[in-house]
Structure 1
Amino acid sequence: MAASAYLVITLGSIILSLVMGTATPAWLVTMWYPPSEITGKSPLVPVLGGLLLLGLVNSWMLWQVLRGPAPTAVPMSRAARWLRLLLYADVVWLLIPSLLPGLVETVIGLALWVPALVLFTMVFTGSGWPFRLALLLLGLMEPVRSLVYDLADDSVFRLFMSPAYQVTVMAAGVASFVAIVMLLLAQRRDGRWSRMTLLIGLGIFASAFLVELVDGLTRGSTIESIAEAMDVLYIVWLARTAHELNREPKQNAPLRVPTAVAAAATVLPLMVIGAEGRPHLTYTWQSDEPTECWTWWKPPRVADVPANKRDWAYVCSVSKPSRHVSDQELLGKGWNACARFAAGEPVRARPALLALLCPEVIGRKYPDLLLSSAQIAQQEAEKENIQRERLRREARKEDALCRDPWPALRTRFQATASYYDWDTQPYGIYDAEADTEEDAEKIWDAKQVDTLATSGQLALIYTPSQDWATCVTAKALNSAPPPLRRKGWDEVVEADIISESGRLVMETLSASKVRFPNLARNGPGRYRLRLYTRPGVDLVLIYPARRAA
């Protein structure tokens, strides 16, 4: 009665959708959740046809699920009663739409299935304990895999899975397949389940395969969602297994697979593989998970990729998550582009990408693309070394042109170097072992910056921006120097600077790496800094403040 009522409601929703011109009523009745925007853009009649077929499937599923247990032939054990209860609870959980997070749904599903799997091994007859133990161990691998997969769903770990993890996931999938086959074999050996129940159990594999086939052919359309909702054989198998659990175990005849099922199992893979000349799907096949690929900011260099992984690297570089294109289709387009490039025809593909497929063709015109990252880095380092050496030679010439502006005031602790002020940046004198970050912030935050600005253990000297070098001479003295006439200088300023470590250093000014001596002649303490400046010449005198005149 419930299945018939649902079928009548489905037919009514289909008629209402035709009258209203929208698939929303039929979608809500058959899919049990609101439609998406894609549904409204799809043609109405094909969508309603698919929903009508889904309504028939759901009615059949309800008829199978809502039947009561079979008449009791023999008293049931406690394990069988608990198994029947868990199977029906699992059916109810799968039928009720859930809005819980994926991890919570996985935990609830495992809490229902894992005890049921253990009870299966206790209830089965006709199978030895080694077979049931193997069934239990293999069957537990899939729940563990599902739990780990959901725990890593939103983490960066999923983007860079190790090969060992991928092999483990693949092994768990194979173990799950083998466990279901062993479960169906144990049901057949037990003898209490009907042949139809066993065939529906085998149909679980075919239905899952058909869903993937429709997914690949429709590429995310409305038909794909309807096809996924038709995958109800697992729910029916659970319900029939619980329904027939009351029967008496007996040895049935060997399960014979109908010819139609065997023919379908042969034809369906051929539909996916296609003829010999068509492209075969290889690496990811519409997979939305980046388990086989990683993202590069730019294509990898062909010399950095092993020869057996260059096709893979090309697919990873050109595939886009928004476009569902098979790997072999991408490779086919790449090889065609290589052929056109070799013939001298214009191609839209980047040579750096095509070099992964046909390096010998691309290398004739772009030999640099065949170099490895190490070779490119070496070339860049050589260019930088040549540039630095050129700057050193020019700086040494500039340094040789600089003269001491006060040659009469001689000291062993002095040096002269040229300084270019291209970006109007000052040069500094500071305590070599002090943290001058706060001092620099105070100077930069000042409303007005003079030619000489000091704060604590840092002094910054601002020279006018110009297109020629400034000759900077610094002299460290034991006492205050004699006064120098201001004639010939644009500005003469003084300020204090502190050295707690006893080491005041001048930053490197010239590209020739001229080294200035320690400007704190008397060790730790306060020093006086006097600056004489005119266009192209700076003279810096540093002496202890306590001995200042």
Structure 2
Amino acid sequence: MRRYRFGRIAALVAVAYVAGVGMVVSADWITVAGVVVPVEPPHLMELGPWARWVLLPVAVLQGWALWQVLRGPVLGGAARVGWPGGAAGWLRVALYASVAHTLLLHLWPPDDAEWATWSGALVRLAVVGLYVPVLAASLPRWVRLGAFVAGIAAVAADLGYGPGDTPIWLLWAVPVLVGQARDPRWSRGTVWTGAIFAAAWLLRPTSFAIRFPRELDPGLLFEVAVVALGALGAVWEARSAHELTRPPETA
């Protein structure tokens, strides 16, 4: 059985989160809905009086995501890469910073939205740039450079300097996932987590790919499911960082 550096602490946090949601959902579920499923504006009320129980499986998924994020690298595995450890070490720093940024925005939305947008953009640019040398052994140079350009374009689009609601982010994510699949440092579970997140991202409520009328209950449930799967983005980044503790030749 695998043991993780912060496995027990991560498990306690995950269980406490799910238990907290379960305790509050029966009383003030509208407030909890804004945290568990941050759909703007929240339309769960339209599903009827049983809608509060939709939050429970979502909270379980998020609790699992918290455990994945907080547990750290596997103990007793291959030799760790020292800090900063070159490009791989700096990529770990950037990935952890991105995960922390995501969690902070989810739990404590800032009053200054512009600051949050720009700080997130800087972190994403670091991740995009550092994947270029880290994937040198698994992707041709022209693929890495193309992904690099697509990643910069996706960040620029998020900042309002390009067309919004386009799948341009996938032009960066797909090559990265292919590179991870060819690199022995990353497990198949990590790659599949990223792939599912990419599919959910394409179907997100603000995407061109999904437009459900509010009166259609299955559409609302699907929207909630897609938003909930957004937690897999943090899991993908965290697992990618955890598994970068192993050098390629010993993975």
TM-score under structure 1 length normalisation: 0.37
Q: Which residue of 2 aligns with 1:114?
A: 125
For residues 461-513 of structure 1, the C-alpha deviation after alignment (integer angstroms, 9 at most, x for no partner) is: xxxxxxxxxxxxxxxxxxxxxxxxxxxxxxxxxxxxxxxxxxxxxxxxxxxxx
Counterpart secondary structure, 1:83? helix
Amino acid at match of 2:141: W
Counterpart secondary structure, 2:160? helix
For residues 256-309 of structure 1, the C-alpha deviation after alignment (integer angstroms, 9 at most, x for no partner) is: xxxxxxxxxxxxxxxxxxxxxxxxxxxxxxxxxxxxxxxxxxxxxxxxxxxxxx
- Superposed, 1:157-236 pairs within 5 Å as 169=163, 173-212=166-205, 216-218=212-214, 223=221, 226-227=224-225, 228-236=227-235
Q: Which residue of 2 aligns with 1:61?
A: 65
Q: Which residue of 2 aligns with 1:86?
A: 94
**Structure 1 residue 215 displacement after superposition:** 5.1
Q: Which residue of 2 aligns with 1:487?
A: none
- Name the CA distance, whole Å, in 1 between partners of 2:169 and 2:126: 16
**Structure 1 residue 122 displacement after superposition:** 1.8
Q: Which residue of 2 aligns with 1:104?
A: 115
Q: Tell whether 2:35 aligns with 1:13.
A: no
**Structure 1 residue 106 displacement after superposition:** 2.2
User: Is the Cα–Cα contact under 8 Å of residues 23 and 39 in structure 1 kept in the other structure?
Assistant: no
- Name the CA distance, whole Å, in 1 between partners of 2:126 and 2:194: 20
- Superposed, 1:360-375 pairs within 5 Å as none
2:139 to 114, 122, 127: 127
- Name the CA distance, whole Å, in 2 between partners of 1:189 and 1:244: 14
Higher strand share: 1
Q: Tell whether 2:33 aligns with 1:27.
A: yes
**Structure 1 residue 78 displacement after superposition:** 2.7
User: Is the Cα–Cα contact under 8 Å of residues 127 and 190 in structure 1 kept in the other structure?
Assistant: no
- Superposed, 1:329-368 pairs within 5 Å as none
Q: Which runs of 5+ in 2 are unaligned?
A: 1-11
Q: Tell whether 2:125 aligns with 1:147.
A: no
Q: Tell whether 2:245 aligns with 1:241.
A: no
**Structure 1 residue 42 displacement after superposition:** 4.9
User: Is the Cα–Cα contact under 8 Å of residues 81 and 246 in structure 2 kept in the other structure?
Assistant: no
User: Is the Cα–Cα contact under 8 Å of residues 3 and 63 in structure 1 kept in the other structure?
Assistant: yes
TM-score under structure 2 length normalisation: 0.75
Count of residue pairs the alignment pairs up: 226
**Structure 1 residue 247 displacement after superposition:** 1.8
Q: Which residue of 1 aligns with 2:49?
A: 44
Amino acid at match of 2:243: E
- Name the CA distance, whole Å, in 1 between partners of 2:203 and 2:179: 26
- Name the CA distance, whole Å, in 2 between partners of 1:9 and 1:193: 33
**Structure 1 residue 101 displacement after superposition:** 4.4
**Structure 1 residue 84 displacement after superposition:** 0.9
Q: Which residue of 2 aligns with 1:377?
A: none
For residues 337-362 of structure 1, the C-alpha deviation after alignment (integer angstroms, 9 at most, x for no partner) is: xxxxxxxxxxxxxxxxxxxxxxxxxx
User: Is the Cα–Cα contact under 8 Å of residues 218 and 224 in structure 1 kept in the other structure?
Assistant: no
Q: Tell whether 2:103 aligns with 1:95.
A: yes
Q: Tell whether 2:86 aligns with 1:75.
A: no
**Structure 1 residue 141 displacement after superposition:** 1.3
- Name the CA distance, whole Å, in 1 between partners of 2:42 and 2:144: 48
User: Is the Cα–Cα contact under 8 Å of residues 91 and 239 in structure 1 kept in the other structure?
Assistant: yes
For residues 100-155 of structure 1, the C-alpha deviation after alignment (integer angstroms, 9 at most, x for no partner) is: 44433221111101112111112223333333222212221111222235xxxxxx
Task: Provide closer, same or farther for how the CA distance between residues 53 and 121 of structure 1 changes in structure 2, counting only shifts above 3 A.
Answer: same
Task: Provide closer, same or farther for how the CA distance between residues 66 and 220 of structure 1 changes in structure 2, counting only shifts above 3 A.
Answer: farther
Amino acid at match of 1:178: L
- Superposed, 1:121-520 pairs within 5 Å as 121-124=132-135, 125-149=137-161, 169=163, 173-212=166-205, 216-218=212-214, 223=221, 226-227=224-225, 228-249=227-248
User: Is the Cα–Cα contact under 8 Å of residues 194 and 232 in structure 2 kept in the other structure?
Assistant: yes
Counterpart secondary structure, 1:148? coil
Q: Which runs of 5+ in 1 are unaligned?
A: 150-167, 253-549
User: Is the Cα–Cα contact under 8 Å of residues 18 and 63 in structure 2 kept in the other structure?
Assistant: yes
Identity %: 27
**Structure 1 residue 73 displacement after superposition:** 2.3
Counterpart secondary structure, 2:92? helix
- Name the CA distance, whole Å, in 2 between partners of 1:72 and 1:190: 15
Task: Provide closer, same or farther for how the CA distance between residues 106 and 242 of structure 1 changes in structure 2, counting only shifts above 3 A.
Answer: same
Amino acid at match of 1:88: Y
Greater Rg over alpha carbons, structure = 1
Deviation larger for 214-223 or 87-96: 214-223
For residues 66-99 of structure 1, the C-alpha deviation after alignment (integer angstroms, 9 at most, x for no partner) is: 1112345253423222211111111111112323
